[in-house]
Amino acid sequence: DFRLKGNLAHSLIEHFFRQPDALSLDDDQFNTWYASMFDQTVEQEGAHLLMPGRKADAQRFRQRLQSAIHRLRRHLREAQTQVIEPEVLLTGSFEGGELTGSADLVLHNAHGQRAIVDIKWAGHKKYMEKLQNNGHLQLALYAELLRQKTGDWPAVAYFVIDKAELLVPDDAVFTGAKVVPSRTASNTAQLWECFKQSWAWRQAQFDQRLFEVVMDDIEPTENSVPPDVGLEAETLNPSYNEYRHLAGWKV
């Protein structure tokens, strides 16, 4: 359900912002569009929400997503957004080779500023902590790829649908969003530099045939200490960590 609702939400948001009049529609016009497109999208991509016993859940999802998109539209209007590009393919390179990513929304406003918004279905606390710890690496990657194309660092933001809240590290573009400043006063550009330092450190270990598997129940060694200007090792959710199989098995 978590993944399904996230995919459906992304699909609806992409469909909506591909319309040239997405920001100029009034609320009644948007509601009319949403009613039709929600039903169509669920039938095509989430039909099990139409099964017996799922009606109440589907209705809650419908209302929550509609309210969230209303809120997102207000944020974009307040930022004087002029152009919205959904699902933008970004490409570039760094010392390690080629990079590519797909940004949910790339915005251009009346002041010549750009911003990248990453859409999340849930995880409000998680993404606040990422901004507080200057650990929003996915957004930093997108921002660097856009910077390589335009020459300027864009603003970045998370929009968490189930809370209908836009989370930003500063209010340079989105003045009405929830500002979550970094505890270390670091920014996205500095996060990217930390990533590059960490990549170089790990690559040097790989060249020596050293590969660390980071798990909660594995004690770190002297080779686990990152460079002073680098990222802390992050323990991945075991459900998504393919490398856990290298850690052996309990008997």
Report which residue type is found at 119: I
Model pLDDT, residue 244:
78
Given a cut of 50, whether residue 81 has pLDDT beyond it is: yes
Given a cut of 50, whether residue 110 has pLDDT beyond it is: yes
Model pLDDT, residue 235:
82
Name the H helices within 46-172: 55-78, 124-132, 137-150
Sorting pLDDT into bands at 50, 70 and 90, what band is 29?
A: very high
Average pLDDT over residues 102-115: 97
Q: What is the pLDDT of residues 37-51, one digit of tens each?
A: 999 999 998 888 888
- Residue 64 has a CB neighbour count (10 Å cut-off) of 17
Query: CA 187 to CA 234: how far, in whole Å?
Result: 19
Mean residue pLDDT of the chain comes to 92
User: What is the residue whose two structure tokens read 């909506």?
Assistant: 16
| Predicted TM-score (pTM) of this structure | 0.90
Sorting pLDDT into bands at 50, 70 and 90, what band is 53?
A: confident
What sign for the dihedral angle of Cα 179, 180, 186, 187?
A: negative
Query: CA 192 to CA 47: how far, in whole Å?
Result: 41
Report whether 106 contacts 113 (CB < 8 A): no
pLDDT more than 90, % of the chain: 73
Looking only at the bridges linking them, the beta strands covering 165-168 and 178-179 are parallel
What sign for the dihedral angle of Cα 53, 55, 59, 62?
A: positive
Query: Could you tell me which of 5, 6, 9 has the C-alpha nearest to residue 34?
Result: 9
Average pLDDT over residues 163-175: 96
Report whether 230 contacts 197 (CB < 8 A): yes
Given a cut of 90, whether residue 250 has pLDDT beyond it is: no
Query: CA 137 to CA 160: how far, in whole Å?
Result: 17
Sorting pLDDT into bands at 50, 70 and 90, what band is 248?
A: low
Q: What is the pLDDT of residues 175-220, one digit of tens each?
A: 999 999 999 889 999 999 999 999 999 999 999 999 888 888 788 8
DSSP 8-state class, residue 216 = T
Model pLDDT, residue 251:
45
Report which residue type is found at 161: I
Report whether 156 contacts 168 (CB < 8 A): yes
Query: CA 34 to CA 157: how far, in whole Å?
Result: 24
DSSP β-bridge partners for residue 159:
119, 166
Model pLDDT, residue 158:
98
Dig out the tokens for 178 from the structure.
């929830």
